Chains A and B, each alone.
Chain A
Amino acid sequence: MADSSPIRGPVVEADGISKRFGATVALRDARISVAPGESHALVGRNGAGKSTLVSILTGLQNADTGTLRFNGDPAPAPGDTEAWRSRVACVYQRSTVIGALTVAENLFLDRQSARALRPISWRQLRLRAAELLAEYGVDVDPSTRAEELTVEQRQFVEIARALSFGARFIILDEPTAKLDARGIERLFAKLRELQRQGVAFLFISHHLQEVYDLCDTVTVYRDARHILTAPVAELDQHELVEAMTGETSRGAEPSWSTTGGTRAAGDVLLKVTDLDLPGAYQGVSLTARAGEVVGLAGAAASGNVQLGETLAGLHRPKAGTITVADRPVRPGRVPAALAAGIGFVPEDRHLQGLIPQRSVAENATLTVTDQLGPFGTVLPSRTREFAQRMITGLDIKTPGPATPVSALSGGNQQKVVIARALATQPHVLVAIRPTNGVDIKSKESLLGTIREVADSGRSAVIVSDELDDLRACDRVVAMFHGRVVAQFPSGWSDEQLVAAMEGMAGTTDTKEDHGPHH
């Protein structure tokens, strides 16, 4: 099925798609159309109907109404997996490779041999896998076990597998959520290369910058409806955000923006001296003053996340000291860090942050159970009251304190994690990638919350590699390969900071000598 044939209309065309689940309308008269070789972005806030559209486009669900065509032909019958896979493939946010099996076997799962009773020739399978990987320029040894791959390699393998079914249309559902800046760059390079071969993409992302970097066309969904489709070049970021939120945006600066770096600095609240954790970082010193938000920037292997976790007591450093308000903190112990006044927002709220089946109230008060009743008891009334204060204080959208936290949207779940970190009234709030996987509106409000912590005379440390997060900081410290390489007052330009995080030469002397850029 060579694609040199004349272009026959869009690779996928959906029109008038509606879908309801019980009383909820997931999609209302939605449409989308992707041309061959096009890279098409689908954006929208959580609950806009993106995931429902994906499951309809991949044949996992049937639309209630509407038509779906691939290359001009009607969609295959539901359940005809083979036919669906040759038209459309999806790389999900959650991994669909099997860790214990080799890359080769993952690529040809359930088709390792020609017929069910024909024994598998492992040598041939490896050769076929190597051929397939080479065809798409994926540099992975087919006999590695899949669990040893990096996130990025895993995605390449999934993309290669998808293409091997003959599909020329791939849906990428938040592919960059778990990648660092450099991984994203390599992923994009690969996608552009495939695009040149005629592969079309539907790219779903919360990062609008990525949409501008990669895509030709953007479609916006809001409240289960199609809002607009336009070439990316003709739509500036404010119009795009406006289309997503349905509100007129408040101008260039978001509400939490720092006021030009002229904030009066208070006393030093957090002081880190010569901290050393073998394999992660060496000789790191850092201070954070009252009223200050400090950004700790760095790519995946820079050690910034481990440094943040060390502050929270999750790792025991080999050398160095941490003091909070001039009192030393016993390293490597979470209770000691909590007692010293360090609040912690972990990197992955699903793995380290929340207990999904338990209520919002329970999750928010997990760190302060000792304050909820006398003699070690936890009184439900006091828990509720405490949680209610948090829900109001942080504007958490939940039906009530007793709702299971898994029922909340990503942004509100993250707020519950922050609520818990703040429950102990910490002097210092350490937040690792606080806006990971939340939509743009929640992002603003989360960063606003962290800003408020600083404004109330405490200090906050944001550990992240996302420029949006770091822009909310008064000062950004950049790390590379376990060392602090540069420091920027607010007003840095994207290029400066990215260059420092990527360890480009000549960044070590940029300390404090850059004026406001905007």
Chain B
Amino acid sequence: MAPTTELATPPAAATAAGRRFDLARYRDLSLLPVLLVLGVIGFAVSPAFLTSDNLLGVGQQATELSLLVLGEALILISGRMDLSLESTIGVAPVIAVWLVLPDHGARFNGIGLFPSWSAIPLCLAVGALIGAINGFLILKLRLNGFIVTLGALTLLRGLQVAISQGQSIVNLPGSFSYLGSASWLGAPAAIWICALLFTLGGAALAWLRHGRALYAIGGNPEAARAAGIRVDRITWTVLILGGVLAAFAGILYTGHYGSISADQGNGWIFQVFAATVIGGVSLNGGRGTLFGALTGVLTLQLVVNVMTLAGVPPLWNQFLNGAIIIIALIISRFASGEKQE
């Protein structure tokens, strides 16, 4: 393109220096030793720990949370946050089921507007709609994202209670409960699906331009705009994607437990944030990987599992969850050497 003239610096000088070891680059792996230690402790306290039944159980329990974490990690990397995910996981299935169930003959009556096979697409559409509305309020009206999604969290939870009349819904369309309860190749289908989604997401973040754009937007939105990235459009897409993933987590959760409970997902957002942040995703945007976020989820789940196996009464779970969040934060703070503002 441009004319090359003889220059003082030899071309290869810059690359020849080689790659120095950069600890901060491996921040996403800082929970791996923690997971290893947890595994050893689990093995020591109970022979039941290292059985496939137990591990698959932990895996299945982690799936719903991990999908929320997947969505939240994408949103956080692009420099935003969405608190309403924990309500979407409950309200999206309720609305979908309400739209397809017949209007008579059961404890919970819907309005029978759509055929029952459409429950899953409807549920995902509701999730997308919630993300789109959040995006509209945040990006078009320029409202504060934290407060908007905090409002949405409360509003959607209220909507779920109002539609479901505060009760659990047990008469579900067959298609709706399949994914959460089925088993493929000896493992719950939910685990396969989660693994697939994390792989796809991780690959997109690592090797696609639009994936890399999330890091640019989260790191410095002005610079991203100057580089020609459509900042608002991509952020909006990410918020919608987050809503869809939360709705999908709702489907898995519903199938797993065979009903939509009235407080499905209630209070999860704290765990979602905790898992994402201890997994190395920055709350300020622009940093972190999906793999790191996944190790965050697994850490939280394994702690509870090991404690249960060790005979610690479940009443201590909440305390332990809080403790492990703070400890993991301290570990990753010093493992990476980066301040977490």
Contact = CB atoms under 8 A, between A and B. Distances in A.
B207 interface: yes
B11 A130 contact: yes
Contacts of A120: 206-209, 212
Contact of A116 (B12, B206, B210): B210
Interface residues of A, number: 49
A163 B229 CA distance: 19
A4 B4 CA distance: 11
A2 B5 CA distance: 12
Contact of A98 (B203, B210, B216): B216
A395 interface: no
A267 interface: no
Specify which of A81, A96, A126, A198 lies most central, judged by the most chain B CB atoms within 10 Å of its CB: A96
Interface string A117-133: 10110000011001101
A491 to B, nearest CB: 38
Q: DSSP class of A's interface residues: helix, strand, loop or mixed? A: loop
Contacts of A109: 212, 216, 223-224, 227-229
A98 B219 contact: yes
Given A110-B209, A117-B208, A137-B8, A145 B3 contact: no
A168 B2 CA distance: 9
A58 B115 CA distance: 55
Interface string B14-27: 11010100101100
Interface string B211-233: 01101100110111011110000
Nearest to B77: A100
Interface in A101-115: 101, 105, 109-113
A139 interface: yes
A134 interface: yes
A234 interface: no
A96 B14 contact: no
B238 to A, nearest CB: 15
A196 interface: yes
Nearest to B227: A109
Nearest to A3: B3
Q: How large is the interface on B (under 10, 10 to 19, 20 to 34, 35 or more residues)?
A: 35 or more
B9 A135 contact: no
Interface in B1-51: 1-5, 7-15, 17, 19, 22, 24-25
A166 interface: yes
Contact of A131 (B11, B227, B286): B11
Interface in B165-214: 203, 206-210, 212-213
A264 interface: no
A351 to B, nearest CB: 14
A82 interface: yes
Contacts of A385: none
A97 interface: yes
A86 B190 CA distance: 49
Contacts of A126: 15
A96 B216 CA distance: 10
B287 interface: yes
Given A100-B219, A101-B216, A139 B2 contact: no
B229 A110 contact: yes
B11 A134 contact: yes
A4 B3 contact: yes
B312 to A, nearest CB: 39
Interface string A81-96: 1100100000000111
A143 interface: yes
B220 A139 contact: no
Given A2-B3, A101-B212, 12 more contacts: A3-B2, A96-B227, A97-B220, A101-B219, A110-B224, A110-B229, A111-B228, A120-B206, A133-B14, A134-B7, A137-B7, A197-B3
13 contacts: A3-B3, A82-B228, A85-B228, A110-B229, A112-B212, A134-B12, A134-B14, A135-B11, A137-B8, A137-B9, A139-B13, A141-B14, A164-B1
Q: 8 nearest interchain CB pairs?
A: A134-B11, A98-B219, A119-B207, A109-B227, A96-B223, A137-B7, A137-B9, A130-B15
